[in-house]
Amino acid sequence: MVLLAFTPVVLAQKSVEVVTIPQAIVLTTSETATTDVIVKNNQPFADTFTFSVFPSYASGISVTLEKSIMTVEPNSEANVKVYFYTPIDTAEGFFQFFFTAKSLSTGAEDTNSLILQTVRKAPMYISDVKVNKYVFEPGEELKIETRVTNIHPKNSYNYELVVEIRKDGELLQAFVNPVIAQPKETVSVANSYIFGKYAQPGLYSLAIFLRDESGKFVSTKDFVANLMGVYKLPTEYTEKYTEMGFLSLTTTIIIKNDGNVGTPPFYVSEVMPLIAKGSFSSSIPPSNESIRGGSIVYSWYVPYLAPGESIVIKYHVSFVSVWIALIVIGAITYFSYRYTFTATIIKSCKYSGPLKKDNEILVSIDVRNKTTGEMKDVLVTDKVPPVLQVIEKFDTIQPKIKKVKEGTILTWSLGNLNTREERILTYRIKPVLEVAGGLKLPAATLSYSGKKGTQTVLSKSIILSPQ
């Protein structure tokens, strides 16, 4: 009988060990998985180890280590966190990764592996989002193009794409778009949003969700757009109109801030003739008025206009005083013209003492051509009342004398008178009896042919009062 002696086998302990717990994990595409890898230092002294993974990237799966070098105390261990990430379109399957720890002092090393299984989250996902730009002004359009991809090789799906636009958490607009994609097909969905003229400036958040047939959100994207703050005032007026009346003028001015932020202070100014100063009134009193040459400037101070707010200024100018001034000026102009550029006949007389019989009176008639042309066929006629007798002794041109029942008519034919030419005619008269009261000498008459045809001008009559 043979006795066999069994001696226990003692395996030599490793100076460094790498332990993966668990040894297999499941990772859903588009998500991140985390696990711990243990590095054991079985040596009687502290040691520093390098820590690495192979491969660090495979089929779209990326691996990130918490640290790649560490110091472990004697107969102790250290944990290293490992992060796995895979994009949503990663194929389903099993992948093996190897972790190695190596001593920097002795060169001792150990390797262990981990199996990663990838499970697809959904067959369809948001593969890309494009916008026309990220910074906008009021009134501009934000264009959003979303691409949805079906990565399943055989099946088609009917999902919903939801686009939400928010400002400070408040939902401004939401788009719900049905998306049908065939196997291995990418579908584009376009949405647009116009920022309002008075929209609040700042950051606007855009969230895009893909919802499967059960209502579960399976893919998301988000970004922000910045709306600039802009105040917009017109160069002069938003609107200005004037209503004319016979005796007044009313002007309305409207200025509106078409921006989305409040305006800084500004002035509105109107320039008017100085003559309007005394007849001006306004719905809003002007802040300032100043005189510049022959004009007066009224200014209104506007401290602030909120987005979309407008200010209305209405002022009134009365024409009553202006019309009066124009009438006076017109009358002065008319009579000045008449006096300056028309023919004149002036009758005057010279006498002294009472109006007694045989007391001579000298009558003078001054004829002047003040027109701008020649006076033709000039004829001067004067009448002497029957209580007066014409003394047929003349210092100037002798007239034709004709006696009628109403007195004596004297007529002078002067021919033509050039511009600015003057003729003076005189004759003498005397009362045929003593006149106790006053005596009126009728007006003399001048007639001629000119540019406007036959014209007649009268002198003033003369009142003779006994002295």
Residues 216, 248, single domain; the answer is no
pLDDT score recorded for residue 9: 41
For residues 4 and 6, give the distance between their C-alpha atoms in angstroms, rounded to a whole number: 6
Residues 137, 111, single domain; the answer is no
The residue from 89, 119, 149 where one domain ends is 119
pLDDT score recorded for residue 244: 85
pLDDT score recorded for residue 4: 39
Residues 26, 108, single domain; the answer is yes
The torsion region of residue 154 among left (phi > 0), alpha (psi -120 to 50) and beta comes to alpha
* CATH value at residue 53: 2.60.40.10
| Burial (CB count within 10 angstroms: exposed 0-12, middle 13-18, buried 19+), residue 1 | exposed
- Asked, for residue 11, whether it belongs to a domain, the answer is no
Domain holding 283, by residue range, is: 239-321
Residues 443, 349, single domain; the answer is yes
pLDDT score recorded for residue 2: 36
Residues 346, 452, single domain; the answer is yes
pLDDT score recorded for residue 21: 86
**Residue recorded with tokens 């998306």:** 179
Residues 356, 460, single domain; the answer is yes
- Asked, for residue 4, whether it belongs to a domain, the answer is no
- Asked, for residue 234, whether it belongs to a domain, the answer is no
Is residue 178 reached through a cis peptide bond, with omega within 30 degrees of 0 on the bond before it? Answer: no
**What's the pTM value of the predicted model, to 2 decimals?**
0.53
- Asked, for residue 250, whether it belongs to a domain, the answer is yes
For residues 76 and 38, give the distance between their C-alpha atoms in angstroms, rounded to a whole number: 10
Residues 108, 128, single domain; the answer is no
Residues 314, 298, single domain; the answer is yes
pLDDT score recorded for residue 3: 39
pLDDT score recorded for residue 1: 34
- Asked, for residue 218, whether it belongs to a domain, the answer is yes
The residue from 119, 140, 169 where one domain ends is 119
Residues 89, 33, single domain; the answer is yes
How many domains does the chain divide into? Answer: 4
* CATH value at residue 401: 2.60.40.740
- Asked, for residue 456, whether it belongs to a domain, the answer is yes
- Asked, for residue 5, whether it belongs to a domain, the answer is no
* pLDDT tens digit at each of 467 positions of the chain: 333 343 344 456 899 999 998 899 999 888 899 999 999 999 999 999 999 999 999 888 999 999 999 999 999 999 999 999 988 888 888 999 999 999 999 999 999 999 999 988 889 999 999 999 999 999 999 999 999 999 888 999 999 999 999 999 999 999 999 999 999 999 999 999 999 999 999 999 999 999 999 999 999 999 999 999 988 888 788 899 898 877 788 999 999 988 889 888 988 999 988 887 778 889 999 999 898 888 999 999 998 898 989 999 999 888 776 667 678 877 776 666 666 678 899 999 887 767 788 788 889 999 999 888 889 999 999 999 988 889 988 888 999 999 998 899 999 999 999 988 999 999 998 888 877 777 888 999 999 998 888 999 999 998 887 66
**Residue 187 pairs with which residues in a beta bridge?**
148
Is residue 55 reached through a cis peptide bond, with omega within 30 degrees of 0 on the bond before it? Answer: yes
- Asked, for residue 334, whether it belongs to a domain, the answer is no
Residues 185, 277, single domain; the answer is no
- 3-state percent breakdown (helix, strand, coil) of the chain, nearest 5: 5, 55, 35
Residues 49, 92, single domain; the answer is yes
The residue from 227, 259, 279 where one domain ends is 227
Q: Cβ(187)–Cβ(179) under 8 Å?
A: yes
* Amino acid found at 161: L
* CATH value at residue 310: 2.60.40.1170
Residues 390, 459, single domain; the answer is yes
